[in-house]
Amino acid sequence: MSPGNGPPSGRAARIMLCIWAAFAAASVALGLERESSLDDSSVILAAVARLVIFLACAASVLTWINRAQRNVRALGATEMMVSPGLAVGWFFIPLGNLVMPFLAMRELWKASTNPRDWQLVPQPIMLPVWWTLWIASNVAEIVAFRLTSEPDAEAVRVGETVAAGADLLSMGAALALAWIIAGVAKRQAAVRIEGVFD
């Protein structure tokens, strides 16, 4: 295995820190949105900080996914449906982004557990939990945006409640993703250390 394809455990640790920062930022933003005494600039500043943290986390996670996909192939996995590049690219392809990133992560988990016979490895329940929370949070964000754009005060109030629910779903997805990243990193490191496939 080439040195650049080692287990992503160091990166996984940094990504988990990033996910926790995003979790904290979402919690702060959720609290600020609920405070009626705060001026709009506080809420806007929190939203901007949250966006910057989200983008940094997204870049880190997507880089990690590509690296982990390359690692698992270096560990001996073959006949995988999703290439390392498309494991990232599918997040940006309309309609395909509803299913393919999940399938890529499922393959990654299974192949990290047993690179030679990865098709036989069962998936953990946390994978569909993560993906369901992720999709639900995105749908809720779209609904919240549309409701808060309405001139009706009641629609705006409902939209703010839906936005808070979307934040909670997003935090759940982040926690599930942290569990998945830690699991993949641990499995890839174990396969490499055991030297089972040398």
Candidate ranges 7-11, 23-27, 32-36, 120-124; pick with highest mean pLDDT: 120-124
Neighbour tally for 142: CB within 10 Å: 11
CATH T-level topology, domain 3-194: Four Helix Bundle (Hemerythrin (Met), subunit A) (1.20.120)
For residue 13, is pLDDT > 60?
yes
Instruction: Number of helices (H) and strands (E) in the chain: give both, helices first.
Output: 6, 0
pLDDT score at 3: 36
What is the pTM for the complete model shown? 0.82
Q: Report domain extents, the chain.
A: 3-194
Per-residue pLDDT tens over the stretch 73-112: 999 999 999 999 999 999 999 999 999 999 999 999 999 9
Distances (CA, A) of 92 to 2, 34, 86, 87: 29, 32, 10, 10
